């Protein structure tokens, strides 16, 4: 990348700096819309995810990728990545059709599990 890229929130500059690194255009664009750098950026993630999901124009299942530092970062005694994940889980309400679909799968599983419980335990014991 070029040393002229000094503002990490300049997404267009970042895209331009990455072009020479992928001359055959083999990498799929991430579609990043913004980068927030602040001590409270983690508080904005859930709203940003909701916004991005609302702008989708596809029926494909949504994919949310959250990049985290290799070194754990802590806020209020909890790992920051866990706080972000929890805030997304709490704020995202699945579409009624998806909710009904997964509820039906869960109900089916709950009905058949008692009969398969001993088999699952045997498989788990054999694997250890």
Listed by start position, the domains of the chain span 95-128
**30-55 pLDDT, tens digit each:** 778 788 888 888 888 888 888 877 77
Residues 6+ apart with CB under 8 A from 16: none
Helix (H) or strand (E) holding 29: none
Integer Cα distance of 97 and 99 in angstroms: 5
Integer Cα distance of 128 and 120 in angstroms: 13
Does residue 80 or residue 52 have the better pLDDT?
A: 80
pTM for the full predicted model: 0.50
Does residue 77 or residue 95 have the better pLDDT?
A: 77
Integer Cα distance of 121 and 89 in angstroms: 30
> Quick check: 113 pLDDT over 50?
yes
């Amino acid at each position: 990348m070029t040393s002229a890229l000094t503002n990490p929130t300049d997404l267009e500059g970042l895209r331009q700096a990455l072009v020479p690194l992928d001359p055959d255009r083999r990498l799929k664009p991430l579609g990043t819309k913004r980068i927030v750098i602040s001590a409270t950026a983690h508080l904005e993630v859930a709203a940003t995810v909701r916004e991005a999901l609302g702008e989708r124009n596809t029926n494909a299942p949504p994919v949310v990728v959250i990049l985290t530092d290799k070194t754990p970062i802590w806020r209020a005694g909890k790992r920051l990545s866990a706080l972000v994940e929890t805030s997304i889980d709490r704020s995202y309400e699945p579409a009624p059709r998806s909710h009904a679909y997964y509820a039906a799968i869960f109900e089916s599983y709950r009905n058949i599990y008692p009969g398969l419980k001993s088999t699952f335990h045997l498989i788990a014991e054999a694997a250890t």
